[in-house]
A and B are shown apart, each in its own frame.
Chain A
């Protein structure tokens, strides 16, 4: 209940609008505390100390409209829902003004135009009080503390593991590296030794080899370099000669 009395600090029957404006920010907060048009209406009824089952609708409607005007004058955007309620109040007020039939008929058929509004107010008030109860409960709960978080695999970023897990992972990584190396060997195509072997085979079976043609058989820059080195190598180590029989002619590798 303390919360509610807090809300009643601003009494706009005694406060003049210009005073209100002086304390602009503060009052704005107070006005903003109404959770909706029903909240405002309940406040006005309590303010008037009126019986909710017999709302002085004309007076309450006037106060309600005054309040909305005040909100507008303070540049508070008035939510559409507040205006809907204003329209409802005016409608109920006008229906109250309609002449009633004789009292005898009132008992049976006449329904008080305020009836629906009262039902809504009573229904709303239950939940307003329930909200108050929830507020109190949450305040109590905030005074209760659970234990701090316990370290678990989920909330611990460090790896919880044994030496054997580490070994397993290490071996996997090694295996992956092996695969990569194998791939590289495939790309390497040929070694110098292999190139030398090929060259020797060709030369020893044919006794003679056109170097230019041999070079042209090569598929890559690397093979070409290997072929060149192989030729130099074979000249150095074997009894073969490089011959050029005419100027600018092809160079021939010949076994002696």
Chain B
């Protein structure tokens, strides 16, 4: 422990470099808390360092970006280069969700925790297969049973949902009331 206290404090540029390395090796978006714990720095210092790191990336205009996803930071390629990357990786975009699955996911994302009958009420159509697809893809998770008649299962979105849809957290979803499309009438 003595060695720890005697250790020279890191310079901010050193800290930024270490954070960059950690975000690079992490499999999942790296949270402020984990960075603070591993590096034994307070969260404010981490926050300042990450912001500086993100700025460096922006100024450099390189092939990579650091984004805030699912409550953490992640290094990824910039969208502009997807065609060349796909050519190199020889991959095609993965199968898209059906309209039914997307609608069901939207209802769950905004109304969570929500039960199957509540989803039916909004969509006007049974959503069983859509829910199964979403569970299989780990975009939604069961959130316990509702204390109501029949104790129906409630569903909510998962961390994978945030990652796959590039969201910081659920509050980053646009307000659902803004989706009211008044062009239908008048």
Contact = CB atoms under 8 A, between A and B. Distances in A.
Interface of A: 33, 35-39, 42, 45-46, 50-54, 79-81, 84-85, 120, 122-135, 137-147, 149-150
A130 B176 contact: yes
Contacts of B103: 35-36, 127-128, 131
B184 A130 contact: no
A138 B24 contact: no
A131 B99 contact: yes
Contact of B180 (A37, A125, A134, A137): A125
Contacts, number: 126
A142 B184 contact: no
A54 to B, nearest CB: 7
A225 B82 CA distance: 83
B107 interface: yes
B94 A142 contact: yes
A146 B76 contact: yes
A137 B167 CA distance: 9
Given A127-B110, A130-B106, A135-B102, 18 more contacts: A35-B99, A35-B123, A36-B123, A39-B99, A46-B184, A81-B124, A126-B179, A127-B103, A129-B179, A134-B102, A134-B165, A138-B165, A142-B94, A144-B76, A145-B82, A146-B76, A147-B24, A147-B75
A44 to B, nearest CB: 11
Contacts of A52: 184-185
Main secondary structure of the interface of A (DSSP, over half): helix
A15 to B, nearest CB: 22
Contacts of A133: 106, 174, 179
Contact of B123 (A38, A50, A84): A38
Given A133-B174, A134-B102, A145-B82, A124 B110 contact: no
B47 interface: no
A127 B165 contact: no
30 contacts: A35-B99, A35-B100, A35-B103, A37-B124, A38-B123, A45-B184, A53-B186, A79-B126, A81-B125, A85-B124, A124-B122, A125-B180, A126-B179, A126-B180, A127-B179, A128-B103, A130-B106, A130-B110, A130-B179, A131-B105, A133-B174, A134-B106, A140-B166, A141-B166, A142-B82, A142-B93, A144-B76, A145-B85, A146-B75, A147-B75
Given A35-B125, A36-B100, A138 B110 contact: no
Contact of B185 (A38, A54, A85, A143): A54
Nearest to A84: B124
A120 B122 CA distance: 7
A143 B176 CA distance: 25
A144 B173 CA distance: 19
Contact of B177 (A81, A126, A137, A144): A126
B167 to A, nearest CB: 8
Closest 10 CB pairs of A and B: A36-B125, A143-B82, A129-B179, A130-B106, A51-B185, A131-B102, A52-B185, A38-B124, A143-B79, A131-B106
B181 interface: yes
Nearest to B92: A142
A91 B74 CA distance: 54
Contact of A134 (B109, B177, B185): B109
B174 to A, nearest CB: 6
